[in-house]
Structure 1
Amino acid sequence: MEEFIDDKIEDGNREMAPNEKFSKLLEELKSCSVSEQKEKIEEMNELMEEMGEEEFKSVFTKEWFNEMDKMIEEKILSWENAILLLKHVGYCQTLKCFFDFAFKDSFLSNRFQEMIIEEKMMIEEKDEKLLVDLCECYLLSNRWPSPEMSSIIVPCLLKVASKKEEDEETQKEVEMALLALSNIGYWAVEQKLHLNEIKTIIEYHQEHHNLTRLAYQLAWSYLICRSYYCKSLEDVVVNELHFIRESIRELEELWKSVDWKRKEEEMGKTERKTMDIISRWIGFIHHFFNRFHLENEEYVGLFSCQVDVFRASRDNHDEIGKKCVILFNESANNLTVKVDDLLKSGAIDVILEELHRPTLNKGLAFESLKFFYRLSLRFKGKEDDEMEEAKRKELKRKMLEKMEEKGVEDNIINFQISLKFFYAKDDGFFHV
């Protein structure tokens, strides 16, 4: 009996998790006035930002969105408050990359589609703000808009994203519109719906710096996603808008503004947001090397910047360090990237250092070994041109010397991780 009482007391003293607090507030929301609802929704929005992926997905299910639809239908929740809540759901879902089909398959999704089409068809008394809010709510929680919906939503949000005023309110509007647009995944959107506008947004910012850091990154995200179905965008991204140069500049400014000695939980909200932006840039650059195959003399500078981020992050921020190594992997896999660029930038040195660290974890070990395996494939063949063959052999010699200098052979033998690497000089570089 005493144990039962102790358990009840302990359970009563347990602090509720963010998702539990959120669900409790939702129930309270149903019996509140409009002004009280707004206060509770602001509290709910703060709780969303504290949720991890599992907590988030446990709350925002298809049933939850159906319940929202019912509350709107029965006028329990005003449209203004519904949008305040639902827009933040999509905002958190998109920034944290918590993607699922819950909203897409809900009654609420159907309601939004019907209202967007209806509002767009209105000629007189059209509520432009409502249309924008509906488009943002819909797209932030749905990465799979139909061509019909895209033809309405994309021009509507690009119009907002093209605003050039630099006041804080406009910057927030632009950022939200670009965040919603960046949520459209890697599939076709008609080029006429976006290309000129998104180019102008990026070019104007490069000259006037009117966007927030996140908004500028999101504009690039949208454009690079479109390139998966439009090969002609390669020249626009690389040679007209200078993606590599801009990535270097942004990353250098961002990583130098972070106190890397502090763990994420010790950082303030602004610094954590900066870390998220750094992580997203690395992801976009990874997609760039996966998709684009153009030679560029700025790659050495880009890899040098990544080396700086990797060295800064590896003690307290493993996930960013791992993303850097994965990026180097993708670069080594891209035949337009010269092995010499990776050598000159220090990328090869820093990964050799990583393999030699006593605290190396298995995830980073695997990615590091995969990097060297991919490099080994670049040394396998023989060049027809004698001069190029001599360069290849010289690069290979430098690589082997670096590996011997760092004493990495034993590490490669010891880490029999999935790909079963082992060192074999007589077979070129590595043998699998």
Structure 2
Amino acid sequence: MQMQRRTEKTVTENYAELLIELKHCTEEEQKLKIDEMNKLMEEMSRDEFCSVITDKLLDKIDKMIEKKKMTLDDSLELLKHIGYWKVLKRILIADFNKSSLNKRFKKMIIDEYAEKEEKSEKLLTDLCECYLTLGDDLSSELLSICVPCLLKVALNIEENEKAQKEVEIALLALSNISKFYEIKKELYLNEIREILKYHQEHRNLTQIAYHSAWQFLICRLFYDRSLEDIILNELHLVREATRELEELSKYIDWKREEEEGRKEETEAKEMIIVRKWLFAIQDCFSFCKMWNEEFIGLFSCITWVFRTAKENYKEISKKCIYLFVVVLRKEAVKAEDLLNCGIVDAVLEEIHQPILNDDIACYCLKFFITIARRLNGQDEGKMEEEERKIMKRKMKQIV
């Protein structure tokens, strides 16, 4: 009867109902309901997630912990899953940073870390994952505890499903640390290097875990530009990003047809990771000055994604063309590179479409304005005379 009632309600209604039921369950029943809630979350669209997971809901969970209506282990299991999907979908939970739950995590992490005799590594790991995934306003003190703790988990090279999931959650939590937080190299560099290199040899990480490790490292460029050589030449970001995008693209239904009035679908994980890779590449290009032939392969791949996504995944197309503008501003990028990547041809094709999405049209305009500035020597990425001639010939195709 209960399952029948569930099928008659929306995902969001079922989730809210299960949370209320948790208060009146035995510990065993709670575990089953939390499993059910976690499965429901995987079915949620981004809009459904935002409507359900609010600061008020998290306050309710905090009160249940305080009044012992839910065990700490169960509550952390539920909150870790919420944090996982929050980071994956790039969602902000308003006011969480000021919430009682956030204050609870901070105190518990500091207390557990200080514990010498009966410290629980699992409890500390769970607390750190919740703290990093649910919040965005992080303290330097807690980062110095959380980063080494989660990297220790991420160094686990066991390939069973449970271990891989634990590694994935730890790395995803680390990837949520904003570039605006400075972290000392000794807290992370050797470990993240080892994680990335081991995966490149043995392919032991999930796709989400691998991207997350890269995202964490790329964000550290904001304060430490010396990482550029490690990222591009030692760990080969460009080669690896190209390979990952090509692999992910095989599993996406690029030709799906959108039906008017159809409910928004839950986004495929592969598409979520493609989007996250595009953001990571953008971050890298915001900080790096280097350019080599490997980049031509990467941007040829991104050009393909742009062309393939423009019919049914306009958000992805917009991200691609924004990346084209970013790369065009790099002084080291030559006109020949842009032509070899197919970027100029792809943007020209788009601008000639009879119906053009307003946002994409805006980015196309920015692209051509940036070229014009380079042609006139007004940008830092000004062109040599021969390059200028090549690009002018190409630009004549617009009119």
Q: Given the alignment of the two structures, is residue 285 of structure 1 paired with residue 281 of structure 2, yes or no?
A: yes
Distance of aligned partners of 1:101 and 1:193 in 2 relative to their CA distance in 1, 3 Å threshold? farther
Q: Kindly provide the amino acid, as one letter, of the partner of residue 356 in structure 1.
A: H
Q: Kindly provide the amino acid, as one letter, of the partner of residue 61 in structure 1.
A: T
Which one has the largest radius of gyration?
1
Question: Identity across aligned pairs (percent)?
Answer: 48
Measured after TM superposition, the shift of residue 86 of structure 1 is 0.6
Measured after TM superposition, the shift of residue 43 of structure 1 is 2.2
Local SS of the residue matching 1:394: helix
Unaligned runs of 5+ in 1: 1-11, 410-432
State how 1:179-218 maps to structure 2 within 5 Å: 179-187=172-180, 188-218=182-212
Q: How many equivalent residue pairs?
A: 387
Identify the range of structure 1 (201-210 vs 292-301) with the bigger mean alpha-carbon deviation.
292-301
- Choose from 54, 59, 69 the match for 1:66: 59
Q: Kindly provide the amino acid, as one letter, of the partner of residue 38 in structure 2.
A: N
- Choose from 307, 315, 335 the match for 2:303: 307
- Choose from 42, 46, 66 the match for 1:49: 42
Q: Kindly provide the amino acid, as one letter, of the partner of residue 91 in structure 1.
A: Y
- Equivalent residue number for residue 9 of structure 1: none
The one-character-per-residue Cα deviations of 1:259-294 (angstroms, maximum 9, x if unpaired) are 31125889998x811111111111111111112111
Measured after TM superposition, the shift of residue 217 of structure 1 is 0.7
- Equivalent residue number for residue 292 of structure 2: 296
Q: Give the TM-score of the pair, scaled to structure 2.
A: 0.91
Local SS of the residue matching 1:104: helix
- Equivalent residue number for residue 236 of structure 2: 242
Q: Distance in 2 between matches of 1:84 and 1:218?
A: 20
- Choose from 321, 324, 338 the match for 1:325: 321
Q: Distance in 2 between matches of 1:279 and 1:66?
A: 31
- Equivalent residue number for residue 399 of structure 1: 394
Q: Given the alignment of the two structures, is residue 106 of structure 1 paired with residue 102 of structure 2, yes or no?
A: no
Q: Give the TM-score of the pair, scaled to structure 1.
A: 0.84
Measured after TM superposition, the shift of residue 198 of structure 1 is 0.6
Measured after TM superposition, the shift of residue 155 of structure 1 is 0.3
Measured after TM superposition, the shift of residue 319 of structure 1 is 1.3
* Higher relative contact order, chain-length normalized (CA < 8 Å, sep 6+): 2
Preserved CA contact (<8 Å) 2:175 2:213: yes
Q: Given the alignment of the two structures, is residue 229 of structure 1 paired with residue 209 of structure 2, yes or no?
A: no
Preserved CA contact (<8 Å) 2:256 2:312: yes
State how 1:27-426 maps to structure 2 within 5 Å: 27-187=20-180, 188-263=182-257, 272-381=268-377, 389-401=384-396, 403=397, 408-409=398-399
Unaligned runs of 5+ in 2: none
Preserved CA contact (<8 Å) 1:63 1:106: no
The one-character-per-residue Cα deviations of 1:157-176 (angstroms, maximum 9, x if unpaired) are 00001111112111111100
- Equivalent residue number for residue 3 of structure 1: none
The one-character-per-residue Cα deviations of 1:105-124 (angstroms, maximum 9, x if unpaired) are 11111111111111111111
Q: Distance in 2 between matches of 1:248 and 1:213?
A: 13
Cα RMSD (Å): 2.4
Q: Distance in 2 between matches of 1:70 and 1:259?
A: 43
Q: Distance in 1 between matches of 2:150 and 2:68?
A: 28
Distance of aligned partners of 1:93 and 1:389 in 2 relative to their CA distance in 1, 3 Å threshold? closer
Distance of aligned partners of 1:24 and 1:176 in 2 relative to their CA distance in 1, 3 Å threshold? same
Measured after TM superposition, the shift of residue 185 of structure 1 is 0.7
Q: Distance in 1 between matches of 2:216 and 2:384?
A: 41
Q: Kindly provide the amino acid, as one letter, of the partner of residue 122 in structure 2.
A: K
Preserved CA contact (<8 Å) 2:208 2:273: yes
Measured after TM superposition, the shift of residue 53 of structure 1 is 4.2
Preserved CA contact (<8 Å) 1:299 1:337: no
Preserved CA contact (<8 Å) 2:299 2:341: yes
Measured after TM superposition, the shift of residue 58 of structure 1 is 3.6
Preserved CA contact (<8 Å) 1:101 1:142: no
